[in-house]
């Protein structure tokens, strides 16, 4: 029986990201994917600065950036084409070191993730492979899978298994955990088109049409790609809605049949749901396997990649030292509350798109002197987990600092955490711990002062694990979490 450190089920964006983050440590990884290759048509079309920073960690941003555009934001308009809510995404570099919002074509991302995996000799990808059985034991996971082309059965053993296998996750079913419906279920049509030539009168940003007769969304995507999504009424058949006549009749206000070709048309059941249990023993679920949300904020794929970033370094720590169930449990406690807030905000946004204009989407809404409301992006807090809950800095994103024009501090801790000490405290810390002295970097020194700290311990996923103002406080953190520095 072949043995691996980790088996990952599913090679979409979440699975590809998780695989790359773990492969950086040199672990042996088996990836099982049911499809013969990546899906060549559009699916996810948006990600944000936090996700681009994860892609930077993996090392794919240089090539992938060429296939992206900066997203300018979203406007909500009513049936009279009046703007009722504006959600701008300023072209300004954030604390994560990137622009707040990007548009992309999912196959371009999946190509980059798979290309990067080829650099890792201990990563094995088996396509056309369907998981049949998962046996979860105290010290390992046994997996049985079938090659759906030649019908051969295989058995492998792994120290951990992670299901990144989507909404119909076989991993979640094998864990016997249920999804809790959070209350939003709607059927929408999604139509992706490629313009035959440049069409300047189409909006250069996302438009949410809050129209009670036909709620709809328009997305300005990469190159000449454009997307329209629209709600399907209960008495409408899927066949009729996806017919050429219906689609082109719907698109009349924007373009005609001679101006674009339909690349993809499909029906989605938009849902809001979250799994009760994200792990069982040495088996975990990530992304759509663990949670589902409507697409109105473009956070579905982002949430899965955040899951992967949170879980990857925790599994890596357990593989490098020893299995720690208490440590791994923090994956769900930290991520579930964060993703639930995204789901609930997206649900309220969906109600707003359905012309329930009395809905307050978030607390981050302001009105200008003309009465037009504007919305700011939300950044939900990390749930309870590692670190001390009373620490006000725990769970905050640690900004990306440039050491010089070409080098970022992020490069110093792509695989492990980092300890940052001010001059006032550094001489009192044991020399056993590698650290960065803020005396050499004025920006870091200023940052510590701004967050009222003299020392911080930063996790490999770029969140602050804890902050301290005394020798006793930092030693308490290090006593409990020093393994992340090694």
Residue 172 belongs to a domain with what CATH number? 3.50.50.60
Determine, yes or no, domain membership for 228: no
Among 328, 357, 373, where does a domain finish? 328
pLDDT at 365: 64
Provide the residue range defining the domain that includes 153. Answer: 2-68+104-178+275-328
Global pTM reads 0.95
Q: What is the pLDDT of residues 445-485, one digit of tens each?
A: 999 999 999 999 999 999 999 999 998 899 899 999 999 99
Q: Give first-to-last CA distance, the chain, whole Å.
A: 32
- Whether 34 and 167 map to the same domain: the answer is yes
The answer to whether residue 338 scores a pLDDT higher than 70 is: yes
Confidence of residue 173 (pLDDT cuts 50, 70, 90): very high
290 inside domain: yes
Looking at residue 284, its pLDDT comes to 98
Question: Does residue 424 have a pLDDT over 90?
Answer: no
| Contacts with 263 (C-beta within 8 Å, 6 or more apart), sequence order | 41, 42, 192, 193, 194, 225
Residue 115 lies in a domain: yes
- pLDDT tens string 52-62: 999 999 999 99
Residue 280 lies in a domain: yes
481: CATH: 3.40.30
Whether residues 16 and 142 share a domain: the answer is yes
> Per-residue pLDDT averaged across 207-217, rounded?
91
**Counting Cβ atoms within 10 Å, is residue 353 exposed (0-12), middle (13-18) or buried (19+)?**
buried
pLDDT at residue number 372: 66
Domain count, the chain: 2
In a domain, 358, yes or no: no
Do 150 and 20 share a structural domain? yes
CA distances from 192 to 112, 228, 354 (A): 22, 7, 21
Q: Looking at residue 152, what is its pLDDT?
A: 97
Q: Look at residue 48 and tell me whether its pLDDT is greater than 70.
A: yes
Domain identity same for 152 and 62: yes
In a domain? residue 479: yes
Same domain, 139 and 279: yes
Tell me how many degrees the CA angle 71-96-380 measures, rounded to the nearest 5. 85
pLDDT at 357: 60
**Domain termination site, one of 265, 300, 328:** 328
288 and 427 share one domain: no
321 plus 432 within the same structural domain: no
Does residue 385 belong to any structural domain of this protein?
no
Band the pLDDT of 353: cuts 50, 70, 90: confident
Helix (H, G, I), strand (E, B) or coil at 19: helix
- For residues 309 and 414, membership in a common domain is answered with no
Shared-domain flag, residues 324 and 467: no
Q: Which residues contact 480 (CB under 8 A, 6 or more apart)?
A: none
**Cβ neighbours, 10 Å, residue 75:** 20
State whether 320 and 443 are in the same domain: no
Residue 17 parent element (H or E)? helix 13-23
Residue 306 in any domain: the answer is yes
Q: Are 441 and 313 in a shared domain?
A: no
The verdict on 56 and 158 lying in the same domain is: yes
Q: Would the pLDDT of 72 be above 80?
A: yes
Among the candidates 310, 328, 346, a domain finishes at 328
**Average pLDDT score over the chain:** 93
CA–CA distances in Å: residue 106 to residues 12, 14, 40, 67, 267: 9, 12, 8, 10, 18
* SS3 label, residue 335: helix
């Amino acid at each position: 029986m072949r043995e691996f450190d980790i088996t990952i089920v599913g090679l979409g964006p979440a699975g590809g990201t998780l695989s790359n983050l773990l492969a950086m440590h040199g672990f042996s990884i088996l990836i099982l994917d049911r499809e013969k290759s990546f899906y060549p048509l559009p699916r996810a079309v948006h990600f944000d600065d936090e996700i681009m920073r994860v892609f930077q960690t993996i090392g794919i941003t240089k090539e992938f950036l060429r296939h992206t555009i900066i997203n300018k934001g979203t406007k909500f308009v009513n049936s009279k084409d009046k703007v009722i809510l504006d959600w701008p995404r300023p072209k300004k570099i954030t604390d994560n070191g990137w622009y707040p919002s990007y548009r992309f074509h999912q196959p371009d991302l999946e190509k980059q993730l798979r290309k990067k995996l080829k650099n890792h000799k201990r990563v094995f990808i088996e396509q056309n492979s369907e998981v049949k059985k998962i046996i979860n034991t105290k010290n390992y996971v046994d997996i049985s899978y079938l090659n759906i082309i030649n019908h051969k059965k295989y058995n492998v053993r792994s120290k951990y298994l992670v299901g990144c296998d989507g909404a119909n996750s076989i991993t979640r079913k094998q864990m016997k955990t249920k999804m809790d419906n959070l209350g939003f279920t709607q059927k929408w049509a999604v139509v992706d088109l490629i313009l035959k030539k440049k069409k300047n009168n189409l909006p250069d940003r996302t438009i949410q049409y809050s129209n009670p007769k036909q709620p709809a969304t328009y997305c300005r995507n990469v190159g000449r790609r454009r997307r329209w999504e629209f709600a399907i009424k209960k008495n409408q058949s899927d066949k009729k809605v996806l017919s050429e006549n219906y689609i082109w009749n719907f698109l009349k206000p924007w373009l005609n049949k001679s101006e674009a070709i339909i690349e993809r048309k499909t029906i989605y059941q938009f849902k809001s749901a979250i799994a009760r249990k994200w792990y069982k023993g040495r088996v975990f679920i990530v992304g759509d396997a663990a949670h589902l949300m409507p697409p109105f904020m473009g956070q579905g794929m982002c949430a899965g990649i955040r899951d992967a970033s949170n879980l990857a370094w925790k599994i890596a720590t357990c593989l490098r030292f020893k299995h720690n169930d208490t440590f791994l449990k923090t994956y769900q406690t930290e991520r579930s509350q964060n993703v639930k807030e995204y789901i609930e905000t997206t649900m309220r946004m969906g109600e707003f798109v359905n012309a329930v204009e009395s809905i307050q989407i978030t607390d981050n809404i302001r009105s200008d002197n003309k009465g037009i409301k504007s919305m700011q992006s939300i950044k939900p807090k990390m749930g309870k987990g590692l670190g001390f809950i009373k620490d006000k800095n725990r769970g905050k994103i640690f900004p990306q600092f440039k050491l010089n024009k070409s080098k970022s501090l992020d490069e110093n801790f792509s695989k492990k955490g980092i300890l940052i000490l001010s001059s006032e405290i550094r001489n009192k810390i044991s020399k056993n711990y590698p650290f960065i002295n803020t005396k050499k970097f004025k920006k870091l020194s200023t940052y510590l002062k701004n967050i009222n700290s003299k020392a911080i311990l930063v996790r490999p996923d770029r969140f602050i694990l804890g902050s301290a103002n005394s020798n006793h406080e930092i030693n308490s953190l290090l006593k409990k979490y020093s393994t992340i520095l090694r």
